Amino acid sequence: MTNPETPRHVEIKNDGDETVAEAEVNTGLGPEGTVRTSMHAKDAYVGTGYRSSLVDAVMDLPEVQASERVEASVPYGDGESLDRLRERTEDAKTRAAGSTTLFDATIPSARPAAGGSPAEDPAAGEPPPDAQ
């Protein structure tokens, strides 16, 4: 894992290798804290999917996955980013702040529940019944 004190810069590029969306990610409180991120597209007319890809890239960072909460700021009206953030989090709350929407939510835990581990679950690793 990277140093939680060091902010991360995440970029999404188009087919022409131009940056179309970017984010700054700060996990200064370290694991199990709150990650703060500011996301935006470089242009208001960025194609569909780039903003969602940016959210996924941020949410998939190991230090974000190790955190409990996310606070994000996105440009007001960026429904694609907000929708994807809602899909990737729980108990989301939003509020407008000028030309920005502030987003606050819980990051679902990828860690096993207290007292259990995947190794203790006899069904772990088996495909769902309808997948055969």
Q: What is the pTM of this model?
A: 0.78
Domain count, the chain: 1
Give percent above pLDDT 90 in the chain: 65
Range of the structural domain that residue 97 is part of: 8-109
Residue 114 within a domain: no
91 burial type by CB count under 10 A (0-12 exposed, 13-18 middle, 19+ buried): exposed
- Does the residue 92 lie in any domain? yes
Q: Is 56 among the domain residues?
A: yes
CB 46 within 8 A of CB 21: yes
Could you report the per-residue pLDDT of 5-33, keeping only the tens digit for each? Answer: 678 999 999 999 999 999 999 986 655 68
| Residue 29 pLDDT | 62
Q: Is the pLDDT of residue 112 over 70?
A: no
Give kind and range of the element (H or E) at residue 72: strand 69-75
120 in a structural domain:
no
Query: What is the domain-level CATH number for residue 74?
Result: 3.40.630.30
**pLDDT tens per residue, range 61-89:** 999 999 999 999 999 999 999 999 999 99
77 falls within a domain: yes
